[in-house]
Amino acid sequence: MICFRSVFENLISAYGPQGWWPGEGRFEIMLGAVLVQRTAWRNAETAIDSLKRAGLHAPEALRAADRREIERCVRSAGFFRTKAERLKGLAAFVEEHGGVDGLAAVPTDRLRDLLLDVAGIGPETADAILLYAFDRPAVVVDAYLRRLAQRLLGHEKPPSDTDLRRWTERDLNHSAALNEFHALVVVHGKRVCGRVPRCSQCGVRHFCRTGREL
């Protein structure tokens, strides 16, 4: 069991507010959420800029665009064939539901189910979109949060994603705190918790350190 309230306070006093999500507009945030998958943010941002220059920034233009042209724009984000197709599907999805304004009127639970039906949007991306594009109180469970929790718990069996979700919802109720929390977990994960070295004995990345920095 972890108190994410105290983790949050330690993180915010160490790093300060992060002001995520970078970028403007709900649809641009949705594009970024897909483009950033397994990719450094810089490379996703380059892809977004490229889409803008090509005039493929809006859902209507993107849905109707040639797939190969989208591929050229998003090449920097990696998995460019996969992501180009997923962005087209995402644009079609947004159009089918009355644009971002139409989606903004959908209740959170229903909106989450809709997002999960889009090819290329899994639990983490869906919750990131709910939280950052639509200002809903969603919990983003990512690899950094799992690793942080595993370290705080020591050698216990790692908590399930639903446990992490429950504990976070319990300790951080409003979307403003959840917004900062996920950003801080990522930023801290990169600078402090990052890099779990392989064990020189067995070669496995196990969590033999008891990192209690939070």
Partner DNA sequence: CACCAGGGTGGTT
Partner DNA sequence: AACCACCATGGT
Q: Give me the residues that bind DNA (CB under 7 A), please.
A: 20-22, 32-33, 36-43, 75-76, 78-83, 118-126, 128, 132, 142-144, 186, 189-190, 194-195, 198
- Would you say 68 or 195 has its CB closer to DNA? 195
Which one, of 26, 93, 100, lies nearest residue 85 by Cα?
Answer: 93
Q: Return d(Cα 35, Cα 32) in angstroms, integer.
A: 5
Q: How far is the CB of 173 from DNA (least distance, A)?
A: 21
Q: How far is the CB of 29 from DNA (least distance, A)?
A: 8
- Would you say 5 or 75 has its CB closer to DNA? 75
Which one, of 183, 204, 201, 195, lies nearest residue 147 by Cα?
Answer: 195
- Would you say 99 or 189 has its CB closer to DNA? 189
Q: How far is the CB of 93 from DNA (least distance, A)?
A: 12
Cα first-last separation, the chain: 14
* Tokens coding 181: 């929390």
- Would you say 7 or 140 has its CB closer to DNA? 140
Q: Return d(Cα 204, Cα 122) in angstroms, integer.
A: 27
* Tokens coding 27: 């649809």
The answer to whether 65 and 56 have CB atoms below 8 angstroms apart is yes
Say how many C-beta atoms besides its own lie within 10 A of residue 154's C-beta: 11
Q: How far is the CB of 88 from DNA (least distance, A)?
A: 13
- Would you say 186 or 214 has its CB closer to DNA? 186
Chain centroid to Cα 180, Å, comes to: 12
The packing angle between helices 175-188 and 123-132, to 10°, is 130
- Would you say 60 or 213 has its CB closer to DNA? 213
Contact partners, residue 39, CB within 8 Å, separation at least 6: 77, 78, 79
Q: How far is the CB of 1 from DNA (least distance, A)?
A: 20
Q: How far is the CB of 199 from DNA (least distance, A)?
A: 12
